[in-house]
């Protein structure tokens, strides 16, 4: 079970790095926000869900 938790934390780290890079680039590029707005919102929603899911899994382990 702890291996699954480690993979969840790794997924959070990787997704966080991708969002930290992609969101400012998208906002700084002219006209790109309208094109990729849904993708950014989906990524942020998935990130938030991953945080909550990891917290629930952690509560069962400890």
With tokens 């899994």, the residue in question is 57
The answer to whether 54 and 8 have CB atoms below 8 angstroms apart is yes
Residue ranges and CATH numbers for the domains of the chain are: 8-61 (1.10.287.740)
pTM, full prediction:
0.86
CA–CA dist 3, 58 (Å, integer): 12
Q: Is residue 1 over pLDDT 80? A: no
Positive or negative, the CA dihedral 61, 8, 13, 46 is negative
Q: How many residues does the chain have?
A: 62
Q: What is the pLDDT of residue 61?
A: 82
10 Å Cβ neighbour count for 25? Answer: 11
List pLDDT tens digits, range 18-61: 999 999 999 999 988 889 999 999 999 999 999 999 999 999 88
List pLDDT tens digits, range 8-18: 999 999 999 99
């Amino acid at each position: 079970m702890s291996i699954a938790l480690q993979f969840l934390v790794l997924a959070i780290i990787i997704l966080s790095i991708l969002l930290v890079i992609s969101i400012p680039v998208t906002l700084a590029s002219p006209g790109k926000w309208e094109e990729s707005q849904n993708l950014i919102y989906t990524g942020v929603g998935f990130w938030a869900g991953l945080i909550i899911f990891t917290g629930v899994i952690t509560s069962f382990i400890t």
